[in-house]
Chain A
Amino acid sequence: MTDRDPDFSDRVTRLERVWANLPGLGTLAAVNHTTVGLRFMVTGAAFFLVGGLLAMLMRTQLALPEQDIISPEIYGQLFTMHGTVMMFLFAIPILEGLGLYMIPKLIGARDLVFPRISAFGYYCYLFGGLIILSSLFLGIAPDAGWFMYTPLSGEEFSPGPGSDFWLLGITFVEISAMAAGIELTVSILRERANGMSLSRMPLFCWYILAMALMIVFGFPPLILASVLLEVERAAGLPFFDVAGGGDPVLWQHLFWLFGHPEVYIIFLPAAGIVSTLIPVFAQRPIVGYRWIVLSIILTGFISFGLWVHHMFTVGIPLLAQAFFSVASMLVAVPTGIQIFAWLATLWTGRVIFSLPMLWIFGFLVVFVGGGLTGVMLALVPFNWQVHDTHFVVAHLHYVLVGGMLFPLMAGLYYWLPLLTGRMPSESLGRLGFWLFFIGFNATFLLMHLTGLRGMPRRVYSYEAGLGWDWLNLLSSVGGFILAAGVAVIIIDVILHLRYGRRAPRNPWRADTLEWALDKPPPTYNFVSLPTFRTRHPLWEHPELPESIASGQHALAGAEHDRRETYGSDAVTGKVREVFHLPSNSWLPLLAALSLAVVCVALLVRTYDVALVGVVAAAVFLLRWGWVNGAHPGMAPLSNDEPTDPPLHSRTTDGPGLWGMVVTLMANGTLYLCLIFGWVYLWTVAPEWVFPEDPRLPLSGMLVSGGLLVIAALLQHRAAKRLAAGNAAGLQARLWQAAGLGAAHFAVLLWLTLEAPLEPTGNSHDAVLLMLLIYLLFHGALAALLTAMQALRVARGYIGVRLPYEPVVLRPLWIYTTGIFWLGVVIFILLPAGWAP
């Protein structure tokens, strides 16, 4: 037996030591995905209870007509916070947490590619969530609805800090979503076990990949909108204010450009749970793997073409509405394909009907109902009637609770044995399900009728005798049954921790790799990293758990006393590098704390404190960037380095480059949204005017842009020569690039300061100023990071054997150059050529 071998058990001990979290409070410095993923999920569950409590308060108020338990002011805060908490602090984070927790275990890796970013994301989520929640206890919570329509959410009609809590807090929380999106995309593409080609990837990974990419493209519109609205509120720059040349409908476009994809960001991972569980309980492979992959891709894209169906009553041309109406209905096709693929799997399998399958059944009943009312709502003339009524409230709960919470509960019961090593009880669990299911349908099924009978959403009270009385009473009773169901489930989960029967190694006879792990899973996941030859590793190689634990596969142990896992080709899954990953670090916590200071300081509008916070955050983030590559804290050069495969920092195509490219895709989306805002206000806003004289001299812009092009070319040459093995003059070239970048920045800053802008007077100048700030930030960032790399050359962290880092910065330089010239064309040349 190999596991009795003292030499081998030493290796495992060493592996455990290298991957352990720090003891005591040091656990706050943990970065590994198992710990961080769990924290995300537990925090999300806590926020779910808060959101649920708010819903119970609303249902109490609406139980009978003309009640005055809750004032309209408080009611406004309740429904705003219920939506906000459930969407931003529960649904998205808990699914991100599930992704962070599960993905490495499914793809045979030891951790995600950017562990510190996961930890940073968690702290941004936690602090942002607590800041938003604090407003509720202070009685000054946002109260303009979770979609914050302007002008109601603007300074004039919401003068208190409520809207600021929303805008700043949510933007802070969104950092965590972006972090998870980038992290998961790169991890799934570049970290899969040897041999796990795209076509062998578990379906759950496809779903999470789609979710992650949708976050990357879906969140930037909201981030931009939130920044613009906060700037409008705090500094008076008119983006949405009609009198200043803005337009409130721009907010709606940007919000729903995020808001609709967001529904699918929530649905896709949940559907991933369904696609994972159904084959396990049907005891056969999923039917139509390729069909499902096709559906995932289709959903991911088409869901970006639906956003206007939330705006059918705004007064947009009917033909334009028809485009969105058809697109909204088309998205039913990929959903239908998945539902029937699941049905066919059950049809041809031998189904074991246990507790997770009960929740899957609940999912089907509720979600199909919600999907069908969704198709109804996509029909424009019908939508004009039921939009903003309780019909929509019922529909969205059917879709979101059915499409997200039911599968999530199925997943909870399914993966509980993995997390705790104990089996959930069947009896209490079933009681919880039935209470939840009956309560849910009692609350929401007849609420469709309440809406059809004309009850608008977001009313704190209603007259008796309008035909809504008994329907509302029924909904309230149902709501409390639902709450009882949640309580039973919580009790069940707590009891199982103590009384649950010990789980066997693979209790559900599943096919995926996470069940090869010990329970609860160790922080390093796998003692040795297996090679994949099939989509169903545990069905075809039941001996895998043994052979992994006894170190019979690759990279057994932690030979160099650092955290390592394999990096592989994005398509074939063939191993290409060894990724060395960072260990415990306080930097994510410190950086997030600094940003929390910024957030609170902006809330109370003490801008000097905010500036201190920004500087502190920048220092921590730069330090974070410094402890990388060949830094002694990471993977210093040594003479016994692995060469086949090599360490990623010794190559020119590591995860950092991928992370940079994905980040720039998100960033580019933000920039495109800014351009959209510009063109939109230009063509649509009723009071928009172009100023008489040009704001920026074209010659000055050409000088600034010319400097930027030369800097980018120099950086490109430096990176290219280094990749070819030539480090001569590297440091000087990087200094030159940084210097020219700084010169570009200085010229642009001078042009900005000299420009006769009146940003508070008209939206033309306001948007132009935002563009200039955006360009200035990127110019400064590229110059600063390149200067830092020049220093790293001097320290020996970059060189012939370490050609990695300049390659990572190259896309940033290209991007910075691209946005500058695109900005010149669209913000200066186009208006000059078009306007009289």
Chain B
Amino acid sequence: MMFRRLAAPMLLGTLLGLAGCSGPLSTLDPAGPSAATAALLWWGMFAAFSLVWLAVVGLWLYAMFRQPASDDPARARRIEKRWIIGGGVALPVVSITVLLAYGIPAGHSMLPLPLDKGESLEIHVTAHQWYWEVMYPESGIALDDELHIPAGKPVDVHLRSADVIHSFWVPRLGGKLDAVPGRTNVQRLQADEPGSYRGQCAEYCGVGHAHMKFTVTAHTPEDFEAWKRQETQGDD
């Protein structure tokens, strides 16, 4: 019995492991511009830092087991300077410079800045223990735990909290942003393709935290308009 309980996830795990990074909540399976940028940053850093890590560990091992060739103090001093200035100062400074050159514009691109053309859709989300109250201010549609958005169009989620701090996160679409009592934070999301994307609360908010989930459904623009009409019908 135990074996079968273990076997299924193991098998599934192996398959998923081979598949790499997909998953309904995986940041490595991006479906929007913000998440794609973040995933790209990850892969770049992962590749570069893996090399750094391997190099440092390798050098360390070599340094421990090598026999120093001579006791010439002048030579030793040259080696010391080389390692400290090259490895200790230059390596981090170069890495940081490159990282920031990519990272700061990347962060800037995720901000909810005014668009060059058109308007973004505004959705109000209020976090409660333990559900998400969703409101469309222009149409008056109100929902719980589900958002509907048009694909290919930026959406600004205005986040508030009714009780404690929560964090709004749709991993495949973009980063997370906290819902803090007394403030309104604005998170820009965009889904490239129609589909269903899962979201969850990322900041511990009490015993219901693990189950504070929601979905974001992206429609084609036409379907989105149809959905809006359907939702508003009968309301007024």
Contact = CB atoms under 8 A, between A and B. Distances in A.
Given A329-B96, A332-B92, A333-B93, A344 B177 contact: no
Mostly, the A contact residues are helix
B208 A318 contact: no
B9 A464 contact: yes
Given A336-B89, A687-B182, A381 B23 contact: no
Given A344-B79, A348-B79, A467 B22 contact: yes
A473 B176 CA distance: 27
A646 interface: no
B88 A337 contact: yes
Q: Which of A76, A318, A336, A471 counts the most chain B CB atoms within 10 A?
A: A336
Contacts of A383: 175
Interface residues of B, number: 89
Contacts of A73: 207
Given A76-B207, A375-B99, A313 B178 contact: yes
A657 interface: no
B137 interface: no
A242 B164 contact: no
A79 to B, nearest CB: 8
Q: How large is the interface on A (under 10, 10 to 19, 20 to 34, 35 or more residues)?
A: 35 or more
A453 B88 contact: no
B127 interface: no
Contacts of A315: 177-178, 180, 183, 185
A332 B86 CA distance: 14
A373 B48 CA distance: 11
A157 B27 contact: no
Interface in B111-137: 111, 129
Contacts of A467: 16, 22-26
A455 B27 CA distance: 10
A338 B88 CA distance: 7
A265 B183 CA distance: 33
B63 A340 contact: no
Interface stretch (B51-59, B140-148, B218-226, B227-235): B51-59
A381 B175 contact: yes
A357 B95 CA distance: 29
Contact of B57 (A288, A332, A347, A365): A365
B23 A249 contact: no
Nearest to B204: A458
Contact of B180 (A76, A314, A361, A365): A314
Given A157-B163, A344-B84, A365-B57, A357 B41 contact: no
Contacts of A685: 182
A385 B38 contact: yes
Nearest to A687: B182
B178 A344 contact: no
Mostly, the B contact residues are helix
A249 B191 CA distance: 31
A375 B49 contact: yes
A387 B25 contact: no
Given A341-B83, A382-B103, A336 B88 contact: yes
A686 B182 contact: yes
A385 B204 contact: no
B181 interface: yes
Nearest to A364: B60
B201 A454 contact: no
B193 interface: no
Contacts of A521: none
Given A336-B88, A387-B176, A381 B9 contact: no
Contacts of A149: 164-165, 203-204
A461 B209 CA distance: 10
Given A385-B176, A453-B23, A470-B13, A462 B210 contact: yes
Interface of A: 64-65, 72-73, 76, 144-145, 149, 151-152, 157, 242, 247-249, 287-288, 291, 313-315, 318, 321-322, 325-326, 329-330, 332-333, 335-341, 343-344, 346-351, 353, 357, 361, 364-365, 368-369, 372-373, 375-376, 379-389, 452-462, 464-471, 473, 685-687
Given A288-B84, A315-B183, 15 more contacts: A151-B181, A152-B164, A157-B163, A325-B100, A325-B104, A344-B84, A347-B63, A361-B60, A375-B49, A454-B27, A456-B169, A456-B209, A462-B210, A467-B24, A470-B10
6 contacts: A313-B177, A318-B107, A333-B96, A384-B174, A454-B24, A466-B25
